[in-house]
Amino acid sequence: MSTLIKGARPYGEGDPVDVLIEDGVITALGVVEAPEDAEVVEAGGQVLLPGFVDLHTHLREPGREDTETIDSGSAAAALGGYTAVFAMANTDPVADNAVIVEHVWRRGQEVGLVDVHPVGAVTVGLKGEKLAELGTMANSQARVKVFSDDGLCVADPLLMRRALEYSTALDVVIAQHAEEPRLTVGAQAHEGERAARLGYTGWPAAAEESIVARDCLLALHANARLHVCHVSTSGTADVLAWAKERGTKVSAEVTPHHLLLTDERLATYDPVNKVNPPLRTESDAEKLRTALAEGVIDCVATDHAPHAVQDKDTEWTAARPGMLGLQTALSIVAETMVRTGLLDWRGVAHVMSERPAEIGNLADHGRPIAVGEPANLTLVDPDAEWTVRGAELASIAANTPYEGMRLPGVVTATLLRGRLTARDGKVC
């Protein structure tokens, strides 16, 4: 089985080249004659990138298959240019044991559109009371590499310290949803002028920053790796810079929505804009963009969070937090980072593929586009634009905050181990 990508520009650099893929591996780069039976993808000078890796996806299976399944979420991922995603553990039942994580892994392989790596819960039932069996999940067939109670914070410092200590022995990483729960009781929106005007209880920046600071110190003293989920404040970026300077093994992600959107959106009263952590201020978003460009924040992760109409399209305080992200991530990064000159396409490859693959410890993703490397690839038309329509996205839920927006950057093909998983907006 062979595929020839004709006339693509790896990393958006240099003259177009042909890329020959045989048995899932790149076997030639340059001017290549197509073998007889090869499937040919005409790239027309488009940008070729390593397949994207999402460290933070909610696929809702098991438990809320009315909003997303491994099947529908894998389709959304492939269409968004992803070749690997990490599926968060806050399902029902919770992915806190080998049976559930093995189901998620196997189901992902059956669907075959993207490698679905289950995230294991840090604590039993996400209750924050006792550690889950991290070792059993790490050694299961799912080979869990990332653990997180995301949706909830591992707030107990003793439990977090133990989890970090265990993680070093297992060579896995703990990903923290940084939110001091005592500071966010009843919180609805970023604590500031806009929330105050609308009468919403505020979600203070310090609730995030205090946990990130605490966890960086715990990780430093335990010589453990820590990953910070969905960084949303300028202060968190400062804490991360400080911790990294001191040699802490900390990595961090930012979501596309925190790069682009702000709490100005509150004025619409539309709960499609409700998310945890909340949309912050313009100066926070600006700082997050520069922190990503400078490597203080390592990568982009979607926090793709599908919700049913009845849970989302309701009054603000009753609505669940979260927004779709898999099919819009590349475009939001193109808009906020590439158009602004903060990142070139090589930089995009770094923050959307290489760094997340490293953090998630995936050997075959985020690899260089070179002979002998696995063909996990994404082709992007950098000049094309499209208009977002929630109903047209592959997810079962439709809660996109970008409805009707015209965005730059179109994923035209995705290849997983040499096999086309998406092409021209359709799943293969």
Ligand X SMILES: NC(=O)N[C@@H](CC(=O)O)C(=O)O
Residues that bind Zn ion (CB under 5 A): 150, 177, 303
**Omega before residue 93 within 30° of 0, cis:** yes
Binding residues for substrate: 58-60, 90, 276, 307, 321-322
Q: Which one of residues 41, 43, 51, 58 is an interface residue with ligand X (CB under 6 A)?
A: 58
- Report the nearest approach of ligand X to the CB of residue 230 (Å): 6
- Report the nearest approach of ligand X to the CB of residue 31 (Å): 46
Concatenated DSSP letters for 314-331? S-GGGSPP-B--TTTHHH
Q: Which one of residues 150, 209, 284, 298 is an interface residue with ligand X (CB under 6 A)?
A: 150
**Omega before residue 368 within 30° of 0, cis:** no
Which residues 6+ apart lie within 8 Å of 286 measured at CB? none
Distance (Å) of CA 195 to CA 258, 266, 286, 299: 17, 8, 20, 29
Residue 177 interacting with ligand X (CB under 6 A): yes
- Report the nearest approach of Zn ion to the CB of residue 94 (Å): 14
Distance (Å) of CA 5 to CA 34, 40, 49, 327, 357: 9, 6, 12, 22, 23
Q: Which does 321 bind (CB under 5 to 8 A by kind): Zn ion, ligand X, none?
A: ligand X
- Report the nearest approach of ligand X to the CB of residue 90 (Å): 5
Torsion sign, CA atoms 34, 40, 45, 50: negative
Question: Could you give the string, one character per residue 87-106, with x where binding to ligand X holds by CB under 6 A and - elsewhere?
Answer: ---x----------------
Neighbour count for residue 343 (Cβ, 10 Å): 22
At 189, give phi and psi (nearest 5°). Answer: -160, 165
Say if residue 24 is exposed, middle or buried (CB neighbours under 10 Å; 0-12, 13-18, 19+).
middle
Q: Which does 322 bind (CB under 5 to 8 A by kind): ligand X, Zn ion, none?
A: ligand X
Q: Which of 150, 253 has the CB closer to Zn ion?
A: 150
In the set 54, 115, 298, 303, the catalytic residue is: 303
Residue pair 307/67 in contact (Cβ under 8 Å)? The answer is: yes
Q: Which of 276, 414 has the CB closer to ligand X?
A: 276
Q: Which does 275 bind (CB under 5 to 8 A by kind): Zn ion, ligand X, none?
A: ligand X
Alpha-carbon span 157 to 112, nearest angstrom = 39
Query: Which residue in the block uniquely carries the two structure tokens 């696929």?
Result: 59
| Strand-pair partners of 178 | none
- Report the nearest approach of ligand X to the CB of residue 147 (Å): 15
| Cα first-last separation, the chain | 15
Question: Could you give the string, one character per residue 128-147, with x where binding to ligand X holds by CB under 6 A and - elsewhere?
Answer: --------------------
Nearest Cα neighbor of 88 from 175, 153, 168 is 175
Residues 318-337 that bind ligand X (CB under 6 A): 321-322
- Report the nearest approach of Zn ion to the CB of residue 131 (Å): 19
Q: Which of 8, 275 has the CB closer to ligand X?
A: 275
Q: Which of 80, 151 has the CB closer to ligand X?
A: 151
Residue 61 interacting with ligand X (CB under 6 A): no
Alpha-carbon span 25 to 181, nearest angstrom = 47
Q: Which of 68, 381 has the CB closer to Zn ion?
A: 68
Q: Which of 18, 150 has the CB closer to ligand X?
A: 150
Q: Is 383 a catalytic residue?
A: no
Q: Which does 354 bind (CB under 5 to 8 A by kind): Zn ion, ligand X, none?
A: none
Residue 275 interacting with ligand X (CB under 6 A): yes
Q: Which residues bind ligand X (CB under 6 A)?
A: 58, 90, 150-151, 177, 275-276, 303, 305, 321-322
Write out the catalytic residue numbers: 303
